[in-house]
Amino acid sequence: LTGKLACAMDGRDARRRDVESEKACECPICLHSLCEPLSLECGHAFCRLCLLQSTRLAPDGRACPLCRRLVGADPATHPVDAELATKVRTAIGDAAYTERVRAHSEKVDTFLAESNAVLPIFTT
């Protein structure tokens, strides 16, 4: 009985570690696997596109979407967290990660182009 209980507990611990590992690879904004993950000074990580949209569109400007600590780096040029990207690539597969990065890169380019566009102001 003791051996069975120990095995059951080991299995539960392994499942908990798997869930924690999956959560570490998930973006808290879009709830998908991180894509081009950016880690902030506060320790939170987000997809490049999610953080870019959040910091550019939020009324309080460049703050972490979770803890509101000031984000010092520009999400458009901040380097990808290579270690976290490797974990995500391992978790979802090379082909799936590569496709997500391609699609996200297009969205980032479009978002940057649109957010930098000059809008005419008409006065009467």
Task: Print the domain residue range for 71.
Answer: 2-111
- Residue 30 confidence (pLDDT): 93
Q: How many domains would you assign to the chain?
A: 1
Burial annotation 24-50 (CB, 10 A radius, 16+ → b, else e): ebbbeeeeebbbbbbbbeeebbbbbbb
CA nearest to 47, candidates 72, 78, 20: 78
Inside any domain, residue 83? yes
For 18, phi and psi rounded to 5 degrees? Answer: -60, -45
- Residue 55 confidence (pLDDT): 85
- What six digits make up the tokens of 118? 């000059």
Segments of the chain with pLDDT less than 50: 1-2, 5-9, 11-20
Inside any domain, residue 117? no
pTM of the predicted protein model: 0.71
- Residue 84 confidence (pLDDT): 95
Distance between CA atoms of residues 22 and 87, nearest Å = 9
- Residue 86 confidence (pLDDT): 95
Q: What is the CATH number of the domain that holds 19?
A: 3.30.40.10
Inside any domain, residue 121? no
